Amino acid sequence: MKYRGVSFSVASHAAWAPGLDTEAAWQAWARNPFTIAGQADAAVSSMPAMLRRRAGFVGKMALEVAYCCLDGQTSIPTIFCSRHGECTRSVELLSDLAQGLPLSPAGFSLSVHNAAAGLFSIARHDRASHSALAAGHGGVEHAVIEACGLLADGAPSVLLVVYDGVLPEVFHAFQDCQEQPFAWAWLMQPASGNAADTISLSWGNSDTQDVAATSTELQPGGLEVLAFYLRGDRELLHTVDSRRWRWERHA
């Protein structure tokens, strides 16, 4: 049963993944989703080269869509949402530690969950607040609630960046969905007076567990929400454990 909800509008959006770097390519994917794969780096041409070289594969995807979505705007709070973050860097550090090798301070600083958010802030000399969030299969929904909280507190806009990559081989036995490399961003604003521009997210308890949530064929939650947005669907139901999330686009 629904017991709470938030509403917002999307002023601009951007998405990037290996092989999917145009609006037309993303629309084609949304109509007929397929497993995204590849190791091509996002260009992140808007970021100074010295900082861009520090970002990893996953971080560059996040930075690419963040820059594209803001298009030069500053002083906007940002929320970076990733289930696994720079997991590959963390595994590399742990492997070095297990072998008794010295750890790289730079490698550690770039393995933390807010690494991309920090690089974005530093590169743009932007002191607006930023945060990094991880909440499992429901990460996007929790990030949207966080963003709407900032809007309710008076922020005119909030940048939401959602991104993830494939897991390192050592974790393959534990993955519970079809992990894929992707990133997308929304510039969120308070719900407009035009209902057609409004997206609502509500949530409540579910009496049943979502069996699909343990399937390795399941799309990551971030891609499910992106497909809902790009297709212009009226509704998306997303059940995680005992929580049911309902996305709605108003017409």
| Residue from 169, 162, 111, 165 nearest 138 by CA | 162
Q: Are 134 and 221 in contact (CB under 8 A)?
A: no
CATH code for the domain of 18: 3.40.47.10
pLDDT tops 60 at residue 1 = no
Structure tokens at 20: 């999917």
pLDDT tops 90 at residue 167 = no
Percent of the chain as helix, strand, coil, to the nearest 5 = 40, 25, 35
pLDDT band, residue 90 (cuts 50/70/90): confident
pLDDT tops 80 at residue 4 = no
Reported as a single tens digit per residue, the pLDDT across 197-246 is: 799 999 988 765 544 444 445 789 999 999 999 999 999 998 887 789 99
Q: Is the pLDDT higher at 135 or at 251?
A: 135
Which of 136-140, 146-150, 195-199 comes out lowest in average pLDDT? 195-199
Taking the whole predicted model, whether its pTM rises above 0.75 is answered as yes
pLDDT tops 90 at residue 183 = yes
Q: Are 55 and 63 in contact (CB under 8 A)?
A: yes
Taking CA atoms, 186 is separated from 78, 79, 239, in Å, by: 10, 10, 22
pLDDT tops 50 at residue 12 = yes
Amino acid identity of residue 182, one-letter, is F
pLDDT at 251: 65
33: domain range? 2-249
The total number of structural domains in the chain stands at: 1
Q: To the nearest 10°, the Cα dihedral for 88, 90, 92, 96?
A: -170
Which residues, including other chains, have CB under 8 Å from residue 132's CB and lie 6 or more apart? Answer: 79, 80, 81, 82, 85, 113, 114, 116, 117
State the Rg of the chain over Cα.
18
Q: Are 66 and 159 in contact (CB under 8 A)?
A: yes
How much of the chain exceeds pLDDT 90, in percent?
62
Reported as a single tens digit per residue, the pLDDT across 100-128 is: 888 877 777 777 878 899 999 999 999 99
Q: Is the dihedral of CA 61, 67, 69, 70 positive or negative?
A: positive
pLDDT at 159: 98
pLDDT tops 60 at residue 26 = yes
Q: Are 185 and 161 in contact (CB under 8 A)?
A: yes
